Amino acid sequence: MEYKDIIYKTPVKHGLINYENTYKDFNWKNINRYFDHFSGDGVNIAHEAIDRHAENSCKDKIALHWEDEDNVKKQYTFSDIKRQSDKLANVLRNLGVEKGDRIFLFLPRVPELYISIIAIAKVGAIAGPMFSAFGPEAIKDRLHDSEAKVLITTPELNQRVDEIREVLPALKHILLVNAEHNLKKDEISYESETNKASESFKIRWVDPEDYLFILYTSGTTGKPKGVTHVHNDMVSHYITTKWVLDLREDDVYWCTADPGWVTGTVYGIWGPWLNRISQVVYNGRYDAEKWYSIIEKYKVTVWYTAPTALRMLMKAGDKIIKKYDLSSLRYICSVGEPLNPEVIKWGLRVYNLPIHDNWWQTETGSIMIANYPCLPIKPGSMGKPFPGVCAKIINAKGKELSPGEHGLLALKRGWPSMLRRIWSDKKKYNEYFRISGWYTTGDTAYMDNDGYFWFVGRADDVIKTAGHRVGPFEVESALVEHEAVAEAGIIGIPDTERSEIIKAFIVLNHGYKPSPNLKKEIQEFIKKRLAAHAYPREIEFTKDVPKTRSGKIMRRLLKARDLGLPTGDISTLEE
Ligand code: PRX
């Protein structure tokens, strides 16, 4: 396939066949008919994703092909997942878990993570998946704010929770995976409890508007926000998976994202299983050879990954690719950061497939703007709005801008998977809707004459590094906890591989001198305390950090100075 070919339409026989007509006639209500139980008696996404498949001719279909770094492999059919999640649901119910309780997960990508998320939905509780690279500070923020009642983790990861245990009075039980001995007072063995539990569980039917999961994500100010989603999200999960990821019954699908991030929860659990798809989970770090071997071994047909991973694979070179048989691949998608046209060009050469970029956020709960199989791709563009989604470029007053004009990317509120709440912070929730009728995304973009959207940047100070969303305030707060640091300002600076990397400007306390060792020590401190992915790869020691007269760090100014850009209005700068 040539680069120029992907800008022409190729005939499509499955899924979304005609974008324009579907967009014109689309009604979300028509999607409800794809579910078994979308009625007045209540709903439950876990029934739609697992139980209904386990109860019909698909019961022996593989739901999960699992493999870890040490080549340990496991397989689960839809009925295996049903049985194991029913047992765990009984354990949770016996522990006194009730509808609406928060159950947090701090696990690597082990099968128990996937089974737990299903079980939590079955009891009507709210799942809070956390990325396993988090340190005690990040865990505390989440467990404390959500008042989590149960935590499911491993003995190893639990050591990070031990440090903060006493500031979490709401946390009643810790279920430990792979820990048979030496349990403390409130600790329970996952295996021994589930082994004892009954296989029969009566699912809790809930209202579509009842909460399903909370994912904490970063903004410019304050601590991470608990973005809360509901069972009704299934409407969006189901149909976006079908039409954007183009999944069909016989596909083998691999989403490389961790469920600690929204892509891993929505398109690594709910979306594919609602569509009864066999999926692959690899529990290990990125490694080019390992990744290609996964595609070869499981004959992956559809692959959903991120631009940083693709850029790393591009750097790993073409020679490696020749060692593996990747001929099973038929469709590739990417999300989370800008996907540069060079990567698409490279993908066409080495995989003989175009990479389909799409855009969404933790808050939107499902893909909002995408490239589809039936539409020509314009390399560098995020594509067009999903049917039922009205995306526009507006100014700060809510006026719609013309094609080509840069402005705020906004969505007409009301699609099924829109966030319903910021846990414990109504004000933060309302901020998304400050422009009447619109959900504001925090991104800037433009739309071209053909209705394609192009990403420009963030309208705020949020950093995207290797696909991970990081709030400058969280890193600054963690930095000043280090004894040498008096003040810190955080910005994202462009990076060819990771989109952005985190740079810290640090004012040292009296008695400390800048040195390469001190830099290293501070970086390790953040990796351990906050999160392994959120440490500043660059540190500059400075005499002061520019602030407004009211004491706010002027990150825009730091960034402009660092990148040699115009500094803009600095009239509020503190003298
Ligand atoms: O800035 C946009 C960027 O990622 C942000 C959302 O991050 P998060 O909530 O972590 O969700 C990421 C995965 C769904 C957006 O506000 N972003 C997401 N997709 C793209 C993107 N930037 C450019 N191109 C994309 N395709």
**Amino acid at site 109:** R
pLDDT in tens, 49-90: 999 999 998 999 999 999 999 999 999 999 999 999 999 999
Q: Which residue has the higher pLDDT, 12 or 202?
A: 202
Atom of ligand 1 nearest to the CA of 442: 16
Tokens of 526: 């953040």
Mean pLDDT, rounded, for 137-166: 97
Predicted local distance difference test score (pLDDT) of residue 5: 55
Q: How confident is the model at residue 41 (pLDDT cuts 50, 70, 90)?
A: confident
List the one residue out of 374, 325, 373 whose CA is nearest residue 351.
325
pLDDT in tens, 457-470: 999 999 999 999 99
Q: How confident is the model at residue 13 (pLDDT cuts 50, 70, 90)?
A: confident
Ligand 1 neighbours by CB, cut-off 6 Å: 217, 262-263, 335-338, 357-362, 382, 441-443, 455, 458, 464, 469
> Which residue has the least CA distance to atom 4 on ligand 1?
336
How much is the mean pLDDT over the chain? Answer: 95
Predicted local distance difference test score (pLDDT) of residue 184: 87
441 CA to middle of ligand 1, Å?
A: 10
Q: Which of 227, 333, 455 to mutate to test the pocket of ligand 1 (most atoms within 8 A of CB)?
A: 455
473 CA to middle of ligand 1, Å?
A: 19
Q: Could you tell me if residue 470 is left (phi over 0), alpha (psi between -120 and 50 degrees) or otherwise beta? A: beta
Mind giving me the DSSP string for 232-273? GGHHHHHHHHHHTS---TT-EEEE---TTSHHHHIIIIIHHH
Distance CA 551, CA 476 (A): 14
> Which residue has the least CA distance to atom 11 on ligand 1?
361
Q: Which residue has the higher pLDDT, 549 or 190?
A: 190
Q: How confident is the model at residue 2 (pLDDT cuts 50, 70, 90)?
A: low
> Which residue has the least CA distance to atom 10 on ligand 1?
469
> Which residue has the least CA distance to atom 15 on ligand 1?
361
Q: Which of 131, 337, 363, 498 to mutate to test the pocket of ligand 1 (most atoms within 8 A of CB)?
A: 337
467 CA to middle of ligand 1, Å?
A: 8
338 CA to middle of ligand 1, Å?
A: 8
Q: Which residue has the higher pLDDT, 221 or 273?
A: 273
pLDDT in tens, 225-257: 999 999 999 999 999 999 999 999 999 999 999
359 CA to middle of ligand 1, Å?
A: 6
Predicted local distance difference test score (pLDDT) of residue 1: 53
How large a percentage of the chain has pLDDT more than 90? 91
Residue 311 predicted with pLDDT over 80 = yes
Q: What is the pTM of this model?
A: 0.96
Residue 359 predicted with pLDDT over 90 = yes
458 CA to middle of ligand 1, Å?
A: 10
Report the relative pairing of strands 187-189 and 384-385 from DSSP bridges: unpaired
List the one residue out of 191, 196, 159 whose CA is nearest residue 176.
191
Predicted local distance difference test score (pLDDT) of residue 395: 97
Q: How confident is the model at residue 267 (pLDDT cuts 50, 70, 90)?
A: very high
Q: How many of the other CB atoms lie within 10 Å of CB of 347?
A: 22
Predicted local distance difference test score (pLDDT) of residue 555: 94
Give the distance from CA 449 to its chain's centroid: 31
Q: How confident is the model at residue 170 (pLDDT cuts 50, 70, 90)?
A: very high
Q: How many of the other CB atoms lie within 10 Å of CB of 427?
A: 7
Q: How confident is the model at residue 3 (pLDDT cuts 50, 70, 90)?
A: low
Cα Rg of the chain (Å, integer): 24
Residue 6 predicted with pLDDT over 70 = no
Predicted local distance difference test score (pLDDT) of residue 247: 96
Residue 507 predicted with pLDDT over 90 = yes
Distance CA 469, CA 478 (A): 16
Q: Which of 377, 411, 469 to mutate to test the pocket of ligand 1 (most atoms within 8 A of CB)?
A: 469
Predicted local distance difference test score (pLDDT) of residue 180: 72
Q: Which of 310, 335, 453 to mutate to test the pocket of ligand 1 (most atoms within 8 A of CB)?
A: 335
Q: Which residue has the higher pLDDT, 296 or 185?
A: 296
Atom of ligand 1 nearest to the CA of 217: 9
Predicted local distance difference test score (pLDDT) of residue 124: 98
pLDDT in tens, 185-208: 899 999 999 999 999 999 999 999
> Which residue has the least CA distance to atom 24 on ligand 1?
338
Distances (CA, A) of 512 to 504, 507, 508, 537, 544: 17, 10, 6, 20, 15
Residue 4 predicted with pLDDT over 80 = no
Predicted local distance difference test score (pLDDT) of residue 550: 86
437 CA to middle of ligand 1, Å?
A: 22
Mean pLDDT, rounded, for 494-513: 96
Atom of ligand 1 nearest to the CA of 358: 26
pLDDT in tens, 394-429: 999 999 999 999 999 999 998 999 999 999 999 999
> Which residue has the least CA distance to atom 5 on ligand 1?
361
Q: Which of 361, 384, 419, 465 to mutate to test the pocket of ligand 1 (most atoms within 8 A of CB)?
A: 361
Atom of ligand 1 nearest to the CA of 367: 14
